Amino acid sequence: MPGRYTLRQQPSEVATSDGNYAIDGLPVPGLPRKPRYNIAPTQNCLVLRKGDQPRQLKAVALRWGLIPSWAKSDSNRSPLINARCEEVGQKPSFQAAFKRRRCLIPADGFYEWKSERGGSMPYFLQTQEQSIFYMAAIWESWQNESCQSIESFALLTTRANNLLAKWHDRMPVILRRDHIATWLEQDVSQLPADTLLAIFSPFPGKLMSCQPANQIVNNYRSEGPACLEAPAPSSTAQLDLEL
């Protein structure tokens, strides 16, 4: 999906294959400065979007759960937290944002859930390097009748890699370094189909690791390192991680 992710490290720059983007605006007012272990939908999150200067990104706080600009209300009952990459350019809720308002969501891990005998068990996935990665996202601005604006975003998802596919069919679009500038700066409507397919291809499972997490992450109020503490072996089925 994902439905939760972590950001325990703070990005200082975004490395790409053709140079780095400097980040302006850190720390963002209103966002927690401490490590975050359980970022959930409807919360304000760190988002990076194009700045005013070349090779610059602006750090801002946006709500997770996209509100289309034409929506009648900002209801949280069914937040649009994810957008399927295969249809993001056609769906009315996402079409304009996909064309004009693309951004990055920094993270250093995310959770997925597997149904097991003891209930729904969370697993934590991260890169083998345990470093920050950047998820592709789109953002939108919505105004109420009093002209107050709410800016929000949705993560793009793609098919699951071979590490995840055994219990879930989707995963976030994790951008490779040489795709970041293309995602942020080029007109995606003019990109060749094979370029978009490459951008949206699943991040390789062999470059990721997976471990059981604590069921306290099921509660969005839970925070801190305890979220990543594995439960006792007796309460968790062994996960087959053969690739």
Higher pLDDT, 8 or 144: 8
pLDDT given at position 237: 45
pLDDT given at position 72: 83
pLDDT given at position 124: 97
pLDDT given at position 230: 83
Does residue 93 carry a pLDDT above 80? yes
pTM metric for this prediction: 0.92
Average pLDDT over residues 58-87: 90
Per DSSP, which regions of 51-187 are E strands? 56-64, 82-84, 102-107, 109-116, 119-127, 133-143, 149-159, 170-172
Sign of CA dihedral 37, 43, 48, 53: negative
pLDDT given at position 117: 74
| Among 191, 15, 17, CA closest to 98 | 191
CA 96 – CA 63 distance, rounded (Å) = 18
The third-level CATH classification (topology) of the domain covering 4-109+133-205 is hypothetical protein yedk fold (3.90.1680)
Residue by residue, DSSP assigns 50-82 as E-SSTTEEEEEEEEESB--TT-S----SS-B-E
Report the mean per-residue pLDDT for the chain: 91
| CA-to-CA separations, 190 to 14, 89, 195, 196, 209, in angstroms, rounded | 25, 12, 10, 10, 35
* Digit-coded pLDDT (tens) for 48-70: 999 999 999 999 999 999 999 98
| Boundaries of every domain in the chain | 4-109+133-205
